[in-house]
Amino acid sequence: MVAIDGILESCGGSALDAHFNRCELYVTVEPCIMCAGALSLLGFSQVYYGCGNDRFGGCGSILPVNSEGCGPCSRQPGPGTHVGQGFPARGGLFPEQAVELLREFYAAGNPTAPRPHRPVKTDG
């Protein structure tokens, strides 16, 4: 598996040269507003997701960044990025299974997560 930043680095930082516009992205949960903005600038051709994100969703749950762009980034994109044209997104694919995957992930914890800067509240 290659991360997006690795692909960008191999293309000199240019999303245009990386040809994300030929890529479809499949994710468990609706991309957040910030991620939807990044996906728009990268120029993904299509995004599919399982469940909506009713707190931070950037594909219509909170803001339609995928269809309306992300403000200043849409008007003045950086060099090597797409003109925040947005991307088609389709959610609601196996939503119950997506929620269950998230539940299992959070129940197990993330051993690679950085240590929190603030104390974490626990029920005990």
CA angle 64, 90, 26 (to 5 degrees): 110
Q: How far is the CB of 116 from Zn ion (least distance, A)?
A: 18
CB of 49 to Zn ion, least distance (A): 11
Residue closer to Zn ion (CB basis): 12 or 25: 25
Is 35 a binder of Zn ion (CB under 5 A)?
Answer: yes
Residue 32 found at the interface with Zn ion (CB under 5 A): yes
Is 89 near Zn ion (CB under 5 A)? no
- What is the closest distance, in whole angstroms, from the C-beta atom of residue 83 to Zn ion in the complex? 21
Rule CB under 5 A: is residue 25 a binding residue for Zn ion? Answer: no
